[in-house]
Structure 1
C-alpha cells in the first residue's frame, strides 16, 4: 500500500529547513535505495520558497508506514 506524509513548515522556519536538509536527503536516499520511496518533493509558497513536503512510501500497513516516517 502507498502512504503519504504531508509536512507543512512553521512560518519563519526556512533556516530550520536549510539546516536539516542534509539528514533529510540522506533519509530519503536510504528509503529510495530500499525501494520504499515512491515520490518526494517540496510544496512551494507563492514566493517560490519551500514551505512543506510530500513524501509517498510503500509499506505493508499504516503502522509500518508510521515506523518508517518516524525514522
Structure 2
C-alpha cells in the first residue's frame, strides 16, 4: 500500500535543509534499495524555493509507514 509523507520545513530552516541534504538523500536511497520508496520530490513555496518534501513509500500498513516517517 502506498502512503504519502508530506514533510513541511519550519520557517527559516533553509540552511538546515541544505546542511542535512546528503543524509536525507542517503536515507531515501536506502529506502529505494529496500523497495520501500515509490518516489520523492521537493515541495516548493510560492517563490520556487524548497519548503519541504513529498515522500511516497510502500508499506504494509499505516503503522509501518509511520515508523518509516519517524526514522
TM above 0.5: yes
Structure 2 residue aligned with 1:36: 36
Count residues with an aligned counterpart.
71
Q: How does 1:4-23 map to 2 (within 5 A)?
A: 4-23=4-23
Calculate the TM-score normalised by the size of structure 1.
0.93
List gaps (5 residues or longer) in structure 2. none
Calculate the TM-score normalised by the size of structure 2.
0.93
> Could you tell me how far apart the structure 1 residues matched to 2:8 and 2:36 are?
22
2:55 alignment partner, SS class: strand
Structure 2 residue aligned with 1:63: 63
The alpha-carbon deviation at position 35 of structure 1 amounts to: 0.9
> Could you tell me how far apart the structure 2 residues matched to 1:67 and 1:41 are?
20
RMSD: 0.8
List gaps (5 residues or longer) in structure 1. none
